[in-house]
Amino acid sequence: MSGYELLLSGLGALLHDPVAIGLLALGLLGGSVFGAIPGINMLTLGAVILPFTVRLEPGHAIMLYSVIYCSGVFGGAITAILFNIPGAPENAATAIDGHPMARQGQARRAIGVAILCSATGGIVSTLVMIGAAQGLARWAISAIQPAEIFGIVVLGLAISATVGAATIWKGWLSVLAGMLLATVGIDPVESTPRFTFGSYSLYAGFQTVPMILGVFALSEILNQSRRSPQGRDAHASGPPVGLAELWMHRVTTLRSIVIGFLSGLVPGVGATLAAFVSYGTAKALAGREGTFGRGDIRGVISAETANNAATGAAMIPVLALGLPGGALTAMMIGVYQLHGMEPGPLIFTNAPDIVGLVFAAMLLANVCILGLGWLEARTVPHLRRIDIRYLMGFLLVLSSIGAYAERNLMIDLWVMFGAGACAWVLRHSGYSLTGLVLGLILGRIGETAFLKAMIINDQSFPNMLSRPIMAICLALAATITLVGICRSLRVRLPGRAATAR
Amino acid sequence: MAFGGTDRPDAEDEPASMRNVLAAAGLSLLYLKAIDWAGFYLATPLFLAAYLATFGERRPLRVALFSSLSSLVFFFAFTSLLFISLPTGQPEALYRLNIVIQQFFLSIGAAS
């Protein structure tokens, strides 16, 4: 079956399945509400519900995460425009021009454009993804062996280390810390216990679910407790918007789709960076004629198109290779693991119904953003009045149940607390939590792949390097790291000169 | 500029806000300890009430209403509907109390 046939059968299955429709609606609502409330975002939601997806069918669970991804990336745009508070980091670039537009009485225009652009970017990207994912998977089955997986993992880690944190050093430290945590427990090939300190509880290593709950839910709860709740009143005003506006800026829209899609494809980049890269390109190309930073509509278009265009592309490595590129896609791998499934290209032959369901759900979710945006523009001013204290206590209880439910061991609760407390300290000293979690999850995948590849290639690393894809990935990873290091050194030198003066 | 992840360098570094974080961390730790010792069914309403009181909610009726209602929601969702086994506490008396609550919610789940 081709990708589009899978989409059609998935659409048929989804629309005949009341549970799937219900989950689609819940995912849309949950993603956009968590995206819109400043402080918590779709990662908090994804972490909190992760342990309970074990009760769902695997197809439903993966579908739910893809829907949350689409709606969560969009959800914060409206708070970014109205209050200059991006509900989620993905929408930070939207605020740069969106909020000035709101202050000039063009809030409704900015919101309308954001909604249209998110839907357009998401739909196009999903359609391209559907066409490309299966072909890539078919190619991957023969071309991608453990050595190549190892190469791609190293490349993904190098990229997320370079872009995720305040400096490249902190980025690498975040990733390496995650990889170090991944080594705890029995090693995947020789079954030697490592870093267990004689404790049986550590033989299975740090479980993915409590770690994700700690890093994304508990650290967020700790973070929110430092602010007192505040409410500001603002509402959408100004003239509404039509599709004509998008057509007028079709070049910007198209370029943003391409940039967003390509950024989403690369592991470690994701929707947040896609929005910034696209915004930066639009600004640079406009030169001096634009009013970027003071309310240029193209700023909103470039950022909101690109972040949703990244979501479809980010699903390609997850489905075709079983490799996550960001925090939310890493949780999808967690869903696979909870259901005892092997993520990777074989999913197209073993479980085409799951793939079809994901395709259909992502397409529908992006179409639904149009209606959701309309709804959200009316309700967001009220969402701001939610007293965050009530939500936080509730979320902590939910996280605790989730951490305990998988294995019924208290150790998982302590792991969650330790991870949460450390993550809070790390995020406030410029380290990257996404880098940490990718290090943990990709570290495990990468280690297994490396050990398998060594066995296949007669325990010889040079033999492995003769595989072109792997060699290219490692070379790219080295280049990216070196360029990042050089840039950080060059930035520091003029900085020092300036302070000396 | 920190891209990606959940890094948001917006919160101000006041001593008061630092105290809040420590209070939230301490309460969470106490709660996890209490789940183990006193059992989930007793620790949860107490924790929710303590959390609200610590973070400045001074209306006792609201605190009582919120903590008991959301505890009921948790008990119903996870014991009656999902049959998730939760810690029931160490000392004999507290264990008995937890079991009574657990059995009550299990029987609701079986009836519906």
Chain B residues whose CB is inside 8 A of the A434 CB are: 4-6
**pLDDT band (50, 70, 90) for residue B38:** very high
Distances A36 to A73, A85, A197, A253 between C-alpha atoms, Å:
10, 9, 43, 23
| B93 in reach of chain A (CB within 8 A) | no
At residue A407, the pLDDT reads: 85
Q: How far apart are the CA of B46 and the nearest CA of chain A, in angstroms?
A: 11
Asked whether the beta carbons of A201 and A415 are under 8 A apart, the reply is no
Question: Smallest CA–CA separation between B83 and chain A, in Å?
Answer: 10
Question: Between the CA of residue B44 and those of A416, B48, B94, what are the distances in Å?
Answer: 17, 6, 14
- B100 — contact with chain A (CB < 8 Å)? no
Q: Are A43 and A37 in contact (CB under 8 A)?
A: no
- For A274-301, the pLDDT digits (tens) are 888 888 888 888 877 778 878 888 889 9
Q: With CB atoms and an 8 Å threshold, state whether B70 touches A272.
A: no
Residue of A223, A227, A393 with shortest CB distance to B51: A393
Give the per-residue pLDDT at A139: 83
B 35-74 near A (Cβ less than 8 A): 35-36, 40, 44, 47-48, 51-52, 55-57, 66-67, 70, 74
Query: Which residue in B25, B32, B66 is closest to A222 by CB distance?
Result: B25
Per DSSP, the residues of A472-494 read HHHHHHHHHHHHHHHHHHHHHHH
Highest mean pLDDT among A97-106, A394-403, A490-499: A394-403
Q: Which residue from A160, A405, A417 is facing B29, i.e. has the nearest CB?
A: A417
The CA distance from A155 to A469, in Å, is 11
Model confidence pLDDT, tens digit, residues A394-426 = 889 988 988 898 788 899 999 999 999 999 999
CA A82 – CA A84 distance, rounded (Å): 6
Rounded to the nearest angstrom, the minimum Cα separation between B52 and chain A is 7
A:B CB pairs within 8 Å: 129
Note whether A434 contacts B47, CB cutoff 8 Å. no
pLDDT of residue A291: 81
Put simply, the answer to whether A394 touches B70 (Cβ < 8 Å) is yes
In angstroms, the Cα distances linking A238 to A6, A77, A115, B99 are: 43, 17, 16, 59
Q: b or e along A336-371 (b: 16 or more beta carbons within 10 Å of the residue's beta carbon)? A: bbbeebebbbebbeeebebbbbbbbbbbbbbebbee
A82: nearest Cα among A49, A53, A112, A44: A112
- The gap from C-alpha A188 to its chain's centroid, in whole angstroms, comes to 27
Residues B17-43, mean pLDDT to the nearest whole number: 93
* pLDDT score of A313 more than 50: yes
Q: With contacts defined as CB-CB under 8 Å, which chain B residues touch A400?
A: 31-32, 35
Across the interface, of B4, B52, B66, the residue whose CB is closest to A164 is B4
pLDDT band at residue A488 under the 50/70/90 scheme:
confident
How far does B101 lie from chain A, in Å, by closest CA?
17
HEC string for B19-64: HHHHHHHHHHHHHHHHHHHHCHHHHHHHHHHHHHHHCCCCCHHHHH
B15 touching A (Cβ < 8 Å): no
On whether the CB atoms of residues A396 and A223 are closer than 8 A, the answer is no
Does A389 contact B55 at a Cβ distance shorter than 8 Å? yes
Indicate if ipTM > 0.90.
Answer: no
- H-type alpha helices, A325-387: 327-338, 347-350, 352-383
- Give yes or no for residue A32 having a pLDDT over 90: no
Tell me if chain A has a CB within 8 Å of the CB of B87.
Answer: yes
A63-77, A90-104, A283-297, A334-348 — which one is most confidently predicted on average? A63-77
The answer to whether the Cβ–Cβ distance between A417 and B28 falls below 8 Å is yes
Residue A99 has pLDDT above 80, yes or no: yes
Contacting residues for A20 by C-beta, under 8 A, at least 6 apart: A13, A14, A60, A63, A357, A361
**Model confidence over B72-93: pLDDT tens digits?**
999 998 888 878 889 999 999 9
pLDDT at B11: 43
The yes-or-no verdict on residue B102 having pLDDT over 90 is yes
CA distance A498 to A490: 13
Q: Which residue has the higher pLDDT, A272 or A491?
A: A272
Alpha helices by DSSP H, listed for A266-351, are 270-286, 297-321, 327-338, 347-350
Better-scored residue on pLDDT, A492 or A37? A37
What is the rounded average pLDDT for all residues in chain A?
A: 84
The stretch A194-221 carries a mean pLDDT of 86
% of chain A at pLDDT higher than 70: 92
**Higher-pLDDT residue of A288, A4:** A4
Strand partners, A185: A194
The single-letter code of the amino acid at A271 is A
CA B111 to chain A, closest CA, distance in angstroms equals 20
Contacts of A26 (CB under 8 A, 6+ apart): A64
Hey, what amino acid is at A463?
N
Question: Strand pairing partners for A193?
Answer: A186
How many other C-beta atoms are found inside a 10 Å radius of the C-beta of residue B22? Answer: 13
Chain A residues with beta carbon closer than 8 angstroms to that of B24: 221-222, 225, 392
How does pLDDT run across A154-192, given as a tens digit for each residue? 988 888 888 767 888 999 999 999 999 999 988 888 888
Specify the DSSP element, H or E, that contains A14: helix A3-15
Mean pLDDT value of segment A180-205? 87
Proportion of chain A above pLDDT 90, given as a percent: 25
Are residues A89 and B78, on separate chains, in Cβ contact within 8 Å?
A: no
In whole angstroms, give the CA distance from residue A305 to residue A300.
8
Residue B4 pLDDT greater than 50, yes or no: no
pLDDT band at B12 (very low <50, low <70, confident <90, very high): very low
Across B57-62, average pLDDT: 87
Q: For residues A419 and A217, what is the distance between their CA atoms, to the nearest angstrom?
A: 10
- Evaluate if residue A228 carries a pLDDT over 80: no
Where in A97-250 does DSSP place strands (E)?
185-186, 193-194
How far apart, in whole angstroms, are the C-alpha atoms of residue A238 and residue A235?
Answer: 10
Q: Does B30 touch chain A (CB under 8 A)?
A: no
Asked if B11 lies within 8 A of A227 by C-beta distance, the reply is yes
Question: Residue A108's pLDDT band (boundaries 50, 70, 90)?
Answer: confident
